[in-house]
Amino acid sequence: MTVPASAQAHQAERAQLAAATALAVRAVWQGVDPEQLETSWAARAPLAAELIGRGQLTAAASAEPWLVAELGEGEGSVAPLAAAAATGDLAPVLLAPLLVSLNRIRRGFARTLSILSGAALLEMVTRTLIADAGRIADMAGMIARPRVVSYVRVVEAPACARCIVLAGREYSFAEGFLRHPRCDCTMAARRPGDTWVPDLPEDLAAQMTEVQLQKAFGQDAAAAIADGADIAQVVNARRGMSTGTYYGRRVRTTSEGTTRRGLYGRQRAQFAKAAGVRFGEVTGGRARAVSPRLMPEEIYRLADGDRAHAIRLLRKNGYIV
């Protein structure tokens, strides 16, 4: 037995959406004029913002029907917009690839290569934003169903070593989802009395080819695993993984800290406006995306075992309506 097939299908659907959106957003970036990076990206960024926003909303909107089919109605239904907004401001995210590229050009790298660095960053960020929006929605929806007591990590093979080693682990909602950039793992709801037994790291490894194992673990560790070594022993599961560090929230400080403030200041309004497009709420050049202040896991921690209070806080923060 493994996690319910519907949870696995939910994961696959999310991963596909994140990949497809990232590809589309990357194509928008690749259309920049190499000689006019700043202005041409500023002109294209609204389209990228719209694609990211639409991807996030689609991801978050898939939480409710999945949970209803799986577990029945909750104490309110998940609001996709709040889950998407919770990932943070999109303006710094859109600015980041530009800053990375300009930095590289300044340091003497070829223009085309520098633009590729920006593309890679944007693709990574897009995947992460979409996965995060989906997981936030999933978690809010699960907390809104008191019979769900915990969640189990859903990992799809092939995956990276850090995720494989966490496959099938059960967590409290108080623990935020452990993930790395581009991570497309999701969660399955767990109720008392559920009898399914999730795949363990060894089960996942057994589904992977030799080449995939080598890619995930490195040659030596892959050989050790093939010889029967305990996967948990050969992988440092925590390395590069974090909870609660949502990309759109973190990248702002990163771009402000590592680049000329001037550029950020000058183009901030422009990108904020572009970011506002995803919520269709641009007022006087200023985006008004209302972002919930607390993440679902923070809410759960605050409620300290009082599920009714957690649900009240979810509602107050706009996650459920």
**Residues 39-78 as x/- pattern, contact with Zn ion by CB under 5 A:** ----------------------------------------
**Residues 163-202 as x/- pattern, contact with Zn ion by CB under 5 A:** x-------------------x-------------------
Q: Give the one residue of 19, 71, 160, 200 binding Zn ion; rule: CB under 5 A.
A: 160
Contact 48, 32 (CB under 8 A): no
Closer of 47 and 160 to Zn ion (Cβ): 160
Residues 200, 131: Cα–Cα separation, whole Å: 22
Residues 186, 112: Cα–Cα separation, whole Å: 35
Backbone angles phi, psi at 23, to 5 degrees: -65, -45
As measured in angstroms, the least distance from the Cβ of 163 to Zn ion is 3
Closer of 107 and 239 to Zn ion (Cβ): 239
Q: Tokens at residue 264, please?
A: 């950020």
As measured in angstroms, the least distance from the Cβ of 161 to Zn ion is 8
Closer of 130 and 148 to Zn ion (Cβ): 130
Closer of 183 and 314 to Zn ion (Cβ): 183
As measured in angstroms, the least distance from the Cβ of 296 to Zn ion is 21
> Using H for helix, E for strand and C for coil, what is the string for 72-136?
CCCCCCECHHHHHHHCCCCHHHHHHHHHHHHHHHHCCCCHHHHHHHHHHHHHHHHHHHHHHHHHH
Place of tokens 């300044």: 106
* Nearest Cα to Cα of residue 125 among 32, 289, 257, 255: 255
Closer of 166 and 189 to Zn ion (Cβ): 166
Closer of 84 and 165 to Zn ion (Cβ): 165
Considering only residues 228 to 247 of the shown chain, the ones binding Zn ion according to CB under 5 A are none
All residues at 6 or more sequence positions from 320 whose CB lies less than 8 Å from its CB, including other chains = 74, 75, 76, 77, 78, 79, 140, 141, 144, 311, 314
Q: Tokens at residue 200, please?
A: 């363990």
Closer of 38 and 203 to Zn ion (Cβ): 203
Element (H, E) at 182: none
As measured in angstroms, the least distance from the Cβ of 154 to Zn ion is 12
Stretch that binds Zn ion, among 162-170, 218-226, 250-258, 284-292 (CB under 5 A): 162-170
Cβ neighbours around 132 below 10 Å, total: 28
As measured in angstroms, the least distance from the Cβ of 212 to Zn ion is 13
Binding-site size, Zn ion (CB under 5 A): 3
Residue of closest CB approach to Zn ion: 163
Stretch that binds Zn ion, among 146-154, 159-167, 247-255, 298-306 (CB under 5 A): 159-167
Q: Tokens at residue 78, please?
A: 């998940």
Is residue 37 a contact point for Zn ion (CB under 5 A)?
no
Residues 295, 140: Cα–Cα separation, whole Å: 9
What's the gap between Cα 62 and its chain centre? 14
As measured in angstroms, the least distance from the Cβ of 238 to Zn ion is 12
As measured in angstroms, the least distance from the Cβ of 155 to Zn ion is 8
Closer of 146 and 181 to Zn ion (Cβ): 181
As measured in angstroms, the least distance from the Cβ of 253 to Zn ion is 24
Summarize as ranges the residues that interact with Zn ion (CB under 5 A). Answer: 160, 163, 183
